[in-house]
Amino acid sequence: MAEAEAGRATLSMAGTGGYAALGPDAALSARYRRIARREVATTVVERFEIPAREGRGFAVAAGQVLRIGCPEGPQVADFIVFSADDPTERFWSARTRVFHGGHLDVGDRLWSTPPRTRPMMTLIADTVAHLDLPDGARSHDLLFCRCDARLYELVHGRTGQPNCQDNLAAAIAPFGLGPEHVPDPFNIFMTTGLNADGRPFYLPSDARKGDYVELIAEIDCLAAVSACPGGSSGPESLPLAIEILDVAPDGPGDA
């Protein structure tokens, strides 16, 4: 009887503490730190640049590391992920935000949509020197959606503007996916916050030339990146550098 009553009990996380971040366990976290410090051998298997205001899609196999960098200066990267085995499973920005907050840190994970709701990638390295900014603003945003052509029409009265929706749609088209499959992204290097009225805002990116983040794939992924053409990247649009690395297995005695 007690078990039946417990089964009908309302589950709740009410309170101001929020969810505990669901990161990797201690052993996996330790391995990821070693990979980020290059104490585990890595080999670059693919390297390319995404031109300013453009996008590109690519595959990242489970266990590979993806590095996204700013080779010329601050540039926001709108980043989306799908399962390579079933692209109907894709990055779930809202669930990731609930688990980890509005800005991601090393050790946070990119979660997928139901019914699997599982980690797709884990952030293992971040070279951005996060500044003390107004209203708690930080880089690596989950508050904003991607920009789209209609936004620029509504807000700025401009038509035909380059935008992340179109960039990402073009990037995933070779995978057989359409514009309707583009989810809200992880906005890497985008510096954002919520003001006193609860409205999201962005500031100039605090990334600098040479900064990068690294994510390790937990499953076989299809990924796409847009070098955001919007103002969140700063007064000029710049390219992004992409590297995909194989990672050697742990050696005997590694913990």
pLDDT the model gives residue 208: 97
- Alpha-carbon span 222 to 60, nearest angstrom: 6
Which pair of structure tokens corresponds to residue 86? 């079933």
- Alpha-carbon span 15 to 22, nearest angstrom: 18
Which pair of structure tokens corresponds to residue 132? 């003390």
This prediction has a pTM of 0.94
Q: How many CB atoms lie within 10 A of CB 183?
A: 18
pLDDT band at 255 (very low <50, low <70, confident <90, very high): very low
pLDDT the model gives residue 7: 64
pLDDT the model gives residue 252: 47
For residue range 23-80, list pLDDT tens digits in order: 999 999 999 999 999 999 999 999 999 999 999 999 999 999 999 999 999 999 999 9
